[in-house]
Structure 1
């Protein structure tokens, strides 16, 4: 991402205006259900078609053919699992059902593990990780924080071409860990930027790409539960920068609605 690009005011929290018909940040409940159903059907259709092809042509396929189809089924199942997990997490968050389970963990290990696992899904993509001066241990919910970090990194990969690099940097910032994920993707139109963390909202230039519009709102919610923050800076056609602030010791007793 070019260092000299114009700066945008970071988006800090979903706006919670009352729903209006045709408003940019809201959609009727039936439209949301239809969106979720469509997103679930896509990987299911892929799995179904590939599995039927394997059964019909098993005696004519080479080992390479079987391996290729099996990998595509595996990736579609990962996408399906991700969608189901996202929907369940959103349901819990919207009902106040997510409770922190804080423990000590090593932030550098969590960041490296997520980057390694996400990178394995796109081995040809450059993924640069820079970690410096992190505290050895912090206190927080490592499961939830990993989920938030996975959302941010997978978004960067989803919305940028496969040959474009993703840069992840992390360092200590006062009594917090600052994690920054930058991509060279499609970016977010300026008119859409204030709404990107509203549940189910999708930017105009992302409507044809897979997604539910729940990821960033869920990641923001998780960071807020920890007493941290998540901000987004972006410029259409020039990529996106997402910053996550994770306090070294989580703040308990916070309550946020998604």
Structure 2
């Protein structure tokens, strides 16, 4: 059967359909703004819905239900704070506005603290720490190093099954220390691995998990500011190993 040629109204409809289905250029400004808006809106929606339920029915709820909703509000607010911090520091990094404030700090204490915090944010999964060999004092910007380590640890927990551990290991040599964070999660496809630290890039197998694609880019930049290295090894379906190497003393 021969179909008739589309007339003017049909041509307009077909043209509009093509425009709607045409893929947008990866990494376009519109894509990036849409992604960031969506990621910020998700925890805000959780906070709004739970706070509204407490305001309306909190006085009639069992105390356990009130505590559970309060805990979810806290977790969502922490996620929102984490997202805003990442976006702000990424913007500062792009503008060359990150300045190191070096101090001597206890990197083991930092790792213990972020492990506890991120276990809670990810649903109380367990981290295994083997970091006793790390020095008690390390020279660097403690706030920025904590953010970089937190980004990597959060990714490991976020992309791992709930019944698997994330292992954090410390090692030392004469002039440097290393923190290795290994998971048994979904891994990174080999074709995506070369691009995984680029801003806004997300691996093809992570679309089901919320994220901005900014974290690893920011973490690598922070480590680079300390004259260190962030190295990634991964196999899809087997897990990911991220190793952060930092000099013990500034260059």
TM, length-normalised to structure 1: 0.84
Give me the whole-angstrom Cα distance separating, in 1, the residues matched to 2:123 and 2:81: 21
Q: What residue number does 1:255 align with?
A: none
Give me the whole-angstrom Cα distance separating, in 2, the residues matched to 1:59 and 1:112: 37
Q: What residue number does 1:105 align with?
A: 105
Is the CA contact (8 Å cut-off) linking 2:189 and 2:204 kept in structure 1? yes
Deviation at 1:122, TM superposition (A): 4.8
> Would you say 1:214 and 2:228 are equivalent positions?
no
Give me the whole-angstrom Cα distance separating, in 2, the residues matched to 1:210 and 1:91: 20
Number of residue pairs aligned between Structure 1 and Structure 2: 229
Q: What residue number does 1:240 align with?
A: 240
Deviation at 1:123, TM superposition (A): 6.5
Matches within 5 A, 1:28-67: 28-67=28-67
**Unpaired runs of at least 5, structure 2:** 1-22
* Partner SS for 1:99: coil
Q: What residue number does 1:198 align with?
A: 198
TM, length-normalised to structure 2: 0.87
Q: What residue number does 2:187 align with?
A: 187
Q: What residue number does 1:256 align with?
A: none
Q: What residue number does 1:83 align with?
A: 83
Q: What residue number does 2:250 align with?
A: 250
1 or 2 for the larger relative contact order (CA 8 Å, sep ≥6)?
1
Q: What residue number does 2:10 align with?
A: none
Is the CA contact (8 Å cut-off) linking 2:79 and 2:121 kept in structure 1? no
Is the CA contact (8 Å cut-off) linking 2:122 and 2:158 kept in structure 1? no
RMSD: 1.6
Q: Which of the pair has more CA radius of gyration?
A: 2
* Partner SS for 1:188: coil
Give me the whole-angstrom Cα distance separating, in 1, the residues matched to 2:146 and 2:64: 34
